[in-house]
Amino acid sequence: MRGKRSAVPALLRVGAVLALLVVALAGCGGAGEPEASDTEVRRVRDSVVGFGTTQAVRCEVADGAVLRGRPVVRCSFEQEEDVSGAMRAQDRCYVVESGAVVDVTRELPIGTLRTCMLNAP
């Protein structure tokens, strides 16, 4: 009786394939991605403070976001707009590249832009 196959073996095969897929996807991202060190976060913060027109600067690792193979650091701060002294809130993302701090906020893919916004302290 060729037409009457049991559905159990087919379900087991599908289940095994799904289990392998879940295990494979679980390994994506996380451990293999570089993460900003405390030194890089400090370097970015010091650079933002070094603008001389910022205050209330807070920086942290951007939830594992990576750009050009470098971990992203996000910062939130207030920056003086002009000589009037008016302050404007800023949320920016940076990477440390060859020792220099580079603003990469506009280079991040659209879905990643939200990673530049810090959570409330």
d(CA 8, CA 71): 46
Using an 8 Å Cβ cutoff, are 88 and 77 in contact?
Answer: no
Ranges of each domain in the chain: 34-116
d(CA 115, CA 97): 19
Using an 8 Å Cβ cutoff, are 116 and 74 in contact?
Answer: yes
State the average pLDDT over residues 11-25: 42
Selection from 99, 6, 87, 10 nearest residue 54 by Cα: 87
pTM for the full model? 0.66
Most confident of 10-24, 91-105, 107-121: 91-105
